[in-house]
Amino acid sequence: DTGVSQNPRHKITKRGQNVTFRCDPISEHNRLYWYRQTLGQGPEFLTYFQNEAQLEKSRLLSDRFSAERPKGSFSTLEIQRTEQGDSAMYLCAAGVSGNTIYFGEGSWLTVV
Amino acid sequence: AQSVAQPEDQVNVAEGNPLTVKCTYSVSGNPYLFWYVQYPNRGLQFLLKYITGDNLVKGSYGFEAEFNKSQTSFHLKKPSALVSDSALYFCAVRERDDKIIFGKGTRLHILP
């Protein structure tokens, strides 16, 4: 158990709909990261947080993507007006600053 | 920007033989390097890390990695491969701002 929970594990949505994923790390994890992974590729950095502060958002990320960590605990990743190209696994990872990060099991998104 | 490269998309090894999965890095300053493993439809699992100290780092499941500063490499090794080691392996580097960047991955096949 890595102490990082993600839900839902799987989401199928129609193109144009909004989806939200949630990540719950343990309380000691002040750093939280979101990555996107497509088949056969490595995790692609999306954004990360130090407590509730969003430190950086990837320049490759469309404005349709937004992430929050309102109280420095759980985080949400929202995708608005989904497109078929958004189909991927969305990974959350968390840890203590400067230390190892631990991943959740991921949330699969399929846009039809 | 710092980066890691995994030059092999796939590595095939017979069960019982030693295995090596290659990783090279490009960083400014001291590198913080990681190896993770991913099984099908799962999140990434932490195997080991190098921050400082001994060049040979031991990790989970009998894996180890050798840090070589002159060759800028951090190859993952195991003396005797098991069929259950078949998975996707990712090398990662921590950047100065604590962002963690992953390689594209190497698929390891252990042949019975």
Residues of B in contact with A105 (CB under 8 A): 42-43
pLDDT in tens, B54-83: 999 999 999 999 999 999 999 999 999 999
A34: region left, alpha or beta (phi > 0 left; psi from -120 to 50 alpha): beta
Which pLDDT score, from 0 to 100, does residue A2 have? 80
Which pLDDT score, from 0 to 100, does residue A85 have? 95
Q: How far is CA A18 from the centre of its chain?
A: 15
Contact A91 B44 (CB under 8 A): yes
Which pLDDT score, from 0 to 100, does residue A40 have? 83
Give the pLDDT of chain A (112 residues) as one tens digit per residue: 888 999 999 999 999 999 999 999 998 999 999 999 998 899 999 999 999 999 999 987 889 999 999 988 999 999 999 999 999 999 999 999 888 999 999 999 999 9
Contact A100 B34 (CB under 8 A): yes
Which pLDDT score, from 0 to 100, does residue A95 have? 94
Handedness of CA A58, A108, B44, A70 (dihedral sign): positive
Which pLDDT score, from 0 to 100, does residue B27 have? 84
Contact B104 A101 (CB under 8 A): no
- Within 6-25 of A, beta carbons closer than 8 Å to B belong to 6
Q: Is the pLDDT of residue B2 over 80?
A: no
Residues of A in contact with B104 (CB under 8 A): 41-42
How many of the other CB atoms lie within 10 Å of CB of B54? 9
Which pLDDT score, from 0 to 100, does residue B53 have? 86
- Residue A8: cis peptide before it, omega within 30 degrees of 0: yes
| Mean of per-residue pLDDT scores for chain B | 94
B98: region left, alpha or beta (phi > 0 left; psi from -120 to 50 alpha): left
Q: Is the pLDDT of residue B98 over 90?
A: no
What the block records as the tokens of A15 is: 């193109």
